[in-house]
């Protein structure tokens, strides 16, 4: 079992930056990848970014490519999401997730989920 705790959300203005963190604990040796998804009010959950835990593969949603950067600190079992040039459309609850097998950009590929951290971007 992997336990995930997100932090770093908040209220910012359009154009600002935020850095989200997700600390993993428990069965982290079984993780194959970690990712961020987001869900806005009244919207479906959508993929944001994913990173291989042992390799170098990284994926981004088209909507955040060039503005968001996902990274990891294996020693600290932590994944980060650096969000720059934030837009009001980025307003959502951001959820950290981890996979223990095959992974990708679909939420069904992920086994463990955090509680989420709210990001609100004002115009």
Q: Residues 85-95: pLDDT tens digits?
A: 999 999 999 99
Per-residue model confidence (pLDDT) at position 55:
84
Q: What is the mean pLDDT of residues 61-86?
A: 97
How does residue 79 score in pLDDT terms, banded at 50, 70 and 90? very high
Per-residue model confidence (pLDDT) at position 56:
87
Residue with tokens 């910012």: 12
* Chain segment 4-33, per-residue pLDDT in tens: 999 999 999 999 999 999 999 998 899 999
Q: How far apart are CA 99 and CA 84, in angstroms?
A: 26
| Close Cβ partners of 7 (under 8 Å, ≥ 6 residues apart) | 20, 21, 22, 23, 117
- The rounded percent of the chain whose pLDDT value lies above 90 is 96
Is the Cβ–Cβ distance between 94 and 119 less than 8 Å? yes
Q: What is the mean pLDDT of the chain?
A: 96
């Amino acid at each position: 079992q992997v336990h995930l705790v997100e932090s770093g959300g908040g209220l910012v203005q359009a154009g600002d930056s935020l850095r989200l963190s997700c600390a993993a604990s428990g069965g982290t040796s079984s993780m194959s990848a970690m990712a961020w998804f987001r869900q806005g009010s009244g919207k479906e959950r959508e993929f944001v970014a994913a990173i291989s835990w042992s390799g170098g593969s990284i994926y981004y949603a088209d909507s955040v490519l060039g503005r968001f950067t996902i990274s990891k600190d294996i020693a600290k079992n932590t994944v980060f999401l650096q969000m720059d040039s934030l837009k009001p459309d980025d307003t959502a609850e951001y959820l950290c997730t981890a996979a223990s097998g095959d992974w990708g950009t679909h939420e069904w590929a992920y086994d463990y989920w955090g509680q989420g951290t709210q990001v609100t971007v004002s115009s």
